[in-house]
Structure 1
Amino acid sequence: MPPPSRRILSLWFPRLGAERLIRRFRLDPEQPFAVVATQGAAQMLHSLSPGASAAGLQPGQPLRDAMAMCPDLMTRLRNPQAEAGFLGVLRRWAGKYSPWVGEMGDEGLSLDITGCAHLFGGEDGLLEAIDGDCAHAGLSVQAGVADTLGGAWALARFAGRGVGHHRSGDAVDQEARATRSRAAKRRHWERGGAAPALPAAARTQAGIEARRIAPRDQLREVLGPLPLAALRLDPDVVAQLSRLGVRRVSELLDQPRAPLSRRFGPGVVLRIDQALGQVPEPVSPVAEARPYAVRMTLPDPIGLAEDVLAGLDRLLPRLCDTVHKAGRGVRQIRLQAFRTDHTMQWISVGLARPSADPERIRPLLAMKVDDLDAGHGIDMLRLEAVQTEPVSARQPVGHLEAGKIIADRLAATTAHDDLVARIGARVGMDQITRWHPASSHIPEKAVQVMAAAWSEPAKDWPAPHAPRPLMLWRPEPVMAPDKPRLTGGLRWRGRDFTPHACVGPERIAPEWWLDDPEWRSGVRDYWRVTMTSGEKLWLFYAHGGALSSGWFCQGQFA
């Protein structure tokens, strides 16, 4: 017997953030309530209660506009960490339906229910059981079942939804009254406008009602009427395709693959193949990580930075001791400040090298304590090692002088890592990079840029055949006679130069196995040219290939 095809269940909790707080504070779901997220200098609606949606509010709407529409709106700041923890609770609850459960985004779960649905009376019975559990818990849920993860995700979020337009004013019900009467005659939807809405009976007969379960091997037909966003495409790509008149999945599936990939990138083709099952996309369960965290409840609220640092001095040694006994080091640490108004703020820092030494971690957190807003007071502090790595103990061995040398080297390495961590706490760890040698004879490809916090200093740099300039940039055209040797003056960046001395040439050939647009001008002869004005430039003469020959400047020596 052939093995049964995979069946994937996707669960989406569209009101996760709002309903988490509604459950906690026992609010009325029919009351307008919204969770607000800060985006730059503006506050936007992130998650809404059923009452807020009934008032006409939408996620992503600015808070000032929402308050103008609904003055009775209650709001709370978003707590992404608490929402992630709540989603983890839902993931453990979903384990009663399948042993293979993974998270999908901030508000979704994915379950591999292959061979599990019959335990609940089939797939329909399984969805009814999930709807009942969520209704009893006061949660809104939308589900979709398909042969692929992408198909189930699309059905859970877009089943039964109409196809919109990338701009307003194109639908019949948005047109002026004078033009609305002529809309039926000119049939504007045939020229790219929005198609008119069908009656309910017609939709049922046409088979485009909301279908949460896709029959086996019929995913293409079920996904066809859905909007393009159901394929998990970027919003910019969806808008571009909509301007071209492609608004449904079926219209995109019929397009040739090569032009799609060239114009919109390979991500569009990848999403199509994932949705149809031509590219595997397994459900990835989340491994339960051991939390390394300590907390301290305060008898009276605090609000000064000195008080927060005093609490940190009591929490940090306890956390570092726990991590050290586990044979691990802290790579990223987070301090959470819970306020009396049931909101929370946090600061997070990373280390260039994992460590369990409180003296190395405390200065990094102290740099960001001023970023905390105490509000009406902080009544609890929680310190968590978000990311840890195994650390092997190092002990100098040998005679006394050798031990001192090794200890000095370790201290120098620690000082360098502390410097990287301090700078990274201000500008971000990803902004600090270092160079490593690369396997290429092309000057601009001779090095590769790597993050300093996740790489070791490079050793044994290969010596170049000729000196390389201190500053290197993309080749810039130079106005000079089209000859392999400089015979007179030249003009570069709007200035006239007169060569005083030339050293070279150093011939470099392109990598013939790669199609590099920068090297389509063929073989290059590099010259170190000293000008009468003192500049030392790195010029090369391109002998021509797919492009014409000529002189270019690519760098400058110190």
Structure 2
Amino acid sequence: MRRALCIWLPDWTVQRFNLVRPELKDRPVVFFEIYRGSRRVAACSDRAKSLGVAPGMPVSEAAALAEAEAQSTPLCLEPYDPTADRQMLEKIALWCQQFSPVVGLEDAETPSSLLLDITGLGHLFGGESALADKIVRSFRRRSLSARIGVADTVGAAWAIAHFGDQGRQGEGETGGRGDGEISKFASPGLLVSPSPCLPFSPSFPIESLRLPDETVALLHQLGVYQVGQLALLPRNELNCRFGPDLLKRWDQALGRLAEPIPALPPPVDFCVEQAIEYPTARRDTIEWLLQQLIGQLAQMLVRSGRGATRLSCRLDCNGAQGVDFSVGMFQPTASPQHLFELLEMRLERLALPAPVAAVSLRAAITAPLERRQQELFLDSREAQRPRWLAALIDRLSSRLGRRAVVRPRLISDAQPELAYHCDPLLEDLPGKRVRRRFSLLIPAELPPRPLRLARRPVSLAAISIQPDGPPLQFHFHGREHRIAKTWGPERIQTGWWRGRAIGRDYYRIETTTGRRFWLFRRLRDGQWFLHGVFE
């Protein structure tokens, strides 16, 4: 007899966020999404629910409810990210393969439940009840709250995990329970394993059939609230009235129709290694061996449709500590030549403490390999530019280090020298997404900014007619510069919470020789500074 287990993670969006940002666990957090041009609540934490916030309401209404509570903490607004929820759930599904070799996600647009096939596995854990208790304890150690249902069908297990309490209440305190049925509570999880004679309780609500919201609303309009009420309706008319999903889900829950679990494939370990019978310190031998291993690794990546974005190499030395190094790629690649060139540059700078006895390569981070259709008539050099740029970034990062090849990122700060940050193009954190766009969006209301900005403002001597007016001339680099045109002032000030307040009046000026500079006068003492040069 087949047995299925369902693990439901209530409020999965909130639980996932608490794992990532545990410092906000006790704050009222609201996750918003854009719906018809306005922001609405997609999910919220328990603290936010206690203030009256509920999914579906506008964010402005949720903020008003929070402000109405005098003792409440301001709402923490976070964008709703179903992709991050699904990716984290897939990682947990792979972790759950210690309980069953067949683990998958529920068939839903935004899944929050895991499905396991535990047929014939109960005795390995001391019974299904012991297995469920072990799963609940394991999730609790990971700071996750889970509810578990076990049944003969996937649909029944899903319904028990989500609506097990309602199913028991509908059958009374003692009625409807077979001798073979096990009912066990394990806070915060729940295990309800029905007997073979009662695979699916008719007192379950109609939502337990995993139907679309439109179908559930239509059934409620007709007065159908429990699954048992469907048996009173003509079966041949249900398909015409509600579509095929109703009968399919009903039959799957009762075991009339088979429902396979879409199991996640196990992660592929892209790793190759080779032992050397006679340890060697010759560079040409090590490079030849690396070429052979890279060729094998590239074939594995191509077959899986993946490309490496981080490649790790280990050289085990005879009688000494091994040497580990890695190279990062700007774009996923499975090119053996490109990967070998990057490793070769790193190998040139390595000092081997002893002869090498073994070599191993691992694609530590991979991503889907991009496949492009070759153009017939376009300029081939234009089409190759992105690829050349990625290869240049890889080579520079491999030669100079990942931290030496950076890109600017704007920061919301009034002080110009603090309004940007340089981030490495090749990130160190696995799984962190890197934006590949170099263009930075500057608000249209800001006046033009110089391309070249001094790391620190340069003090200079300037002459102006009015104390608060623009300069007429200034002395810089041993020369006197007479000003022909000025634009400004643009006043920039920082808040009191920054400590020492910054107050400046910026001017864009053009000299009689045509050069353009960015000057400012410090408000507290009238001292002039040069901060940038326009190209």
Shorter chain as normaliser: what TM range?
A: 0.3 to 0.5
TM-score (norm 2): 0.48
Q: Comparing both structures, which one devotes a greater share of its residues to strand?
A: 2
